[in-house]
Structure 1
């Protein structure tokens, strides 16, 4: 009987806080794939996943850290550029 592959989570995963905002950094891979995935989840549950995968968990964390340093934590937060659909009464 085949089973779904396990997901391996890096110890470099976890919450990250800056400027009073916290995001959850997830670095993981499927046991059958050596490439690591980088995902950041904000307080609203919005998930941002890098399209490129990484050779090591350390490379993935370095990409997150570089993004924080260059763009700030605001890049991961939901902004006011979301336009709600109009409602009908």
Structure 2
């Protein structure tokens, strides 16, 4: 059975809190590669929001997360009727 590759996590990854809501921002790529960075947001209910496209830098991924928060608000990750836009 092939081993699952290990991931390298960005220093920008971690918990993010706004308006009393905390989510985990995970920015990662396969360890030892120059592949695109992936962006996931994980809620306290363990719902995962994953962006379809990768990012050239971890900063680009984090900036997209911040833009989503500015545009849709952090509560958009909690509302099933209006999930945040993923790119």
TM over 0.5, yes or no? yes
**TM-score, length-normalised on structure 2?**
0.82
User: What do the CA deviations read for 1:1-54 (whole angstroms, capped 9, x no partner)?
Assistant: x75432100000000011110000000001235200000000100000000110
Unaligned runs of 5+ in 1: 82-89
What do you get for the CA RMSD once the two structures are aligned? 1.6
Unaligned runs of 5+ in 2: 82-87
Cα distance in 2 between the residues matched to 1:45 and 1:24: 9
Considering only CA atoms, is the larger Rg found in Structure 1 or Structure 2?
Answer: 1
Mapping for residues 1-89 of structure 1, pairs under 5 Å: 4-31=4-31, 32-79=33-80, 81=81
4+ residue runs of structure 1 moved beyond 6 angstroms? none
**TM-score, length-normalised on structure 1?**
0.80
